[in-house]
Amino acid sequence: MNSGFPSIRTKNILIEERKLWDNVTRFVEGGRVKVPAKNVDKAKTARVTLPCNGRKILIADDESSIRDLFLQVVRYGLPNCRVDLAVNGEEAVEAFRNGRHAVMVMDLKMPVMDGEKAFLEIVKLCKAENWAMPAVVFCTGYDASGRIEKLVKENPSHCLLRKPVMNDELMEAIKARLPAE
């Protein structure tokens, strides 16, 4: 019986490549899982959500003293995590695109792009790429918009901290949002 697929012989068992392919059935490529259909020429593509990198944290704040302080606090409290920095919302979006951080500490008032706009851009990016959304710890010394207040009230994976932030309060918020190892 010739199915058109080459065959291989292993320990006197003839296995058609097609059957091997059926047993494997899927592989991850660029955020999509391809599942071969009965007709290989018409393979179906299923979408899977790719998780964030659980050991990466992004700190986005335009004030260098706050950024440096948060960096030292997080590195001390979570020595096994990689911490990246951004000085505005635009840099935060780009850093997330490249690193897919599990937790982001995001200032709301920043130049170029504020934290709320950056968050909305990350939401769009995650939907477009089918990536899991990171947890966001919003930090501000100002009043947060109603949208942010509502977001943190409805979604416990995000929170809002008021500056000045105590070190233990920051660490507690981040640790609570990191995925379990």
Contacts of 64 (CB under 8 A, 6+ apart): 87
Range(s) within the chain of domains with CATH label 3.40.50.2300: 53-177
Around Cβ 110, how many Cβ atoms within 10 Å? 23
Token pair for residue 113? 């792009």
The β-bridge partners of 107 are: 139
Query: 117-125: long-range contacts (C-beta < 8 A, 24 or more apart)?
Result: 117/89, 118/60, 118/88, 118/89, 118/90, 118/92, 118/93, 119/148, 121/89, 121/93, 122/92, 122/93, 122/96, 125/93, 125/96, 125/97
160 closest CA partner among 175, 181, 145, 178: 145
> Other CB atoms closer than 10 Å to residue 7's CB: what's the count?
13
**Tokens of residue 12, six digits:** 């006197």
H or E stretch including 23? helix 17-24
pLDDT digits (tens), the chain, 181 positions = 444 544 444 443 444 444 443 443 333 333 444 444 444 444 444 556 777 888 999 999 999 999 999 999 999 999 999 999 999 999 999 999 999 999 999 999 999 999 999 999 999 999 999 999 999 999 999 999 999 999 999 999 999 999 999 999 999 999 999 998 6
Architecture of domain 53-177: 3-Layer(aba) Sandwich (3.40)
Q: CA torsion sign, 113 to 116 to 121 to 125?
A: positive
What pLDDT shows up at residue 47?
59
Structure token pair of residue 140: 């501000």
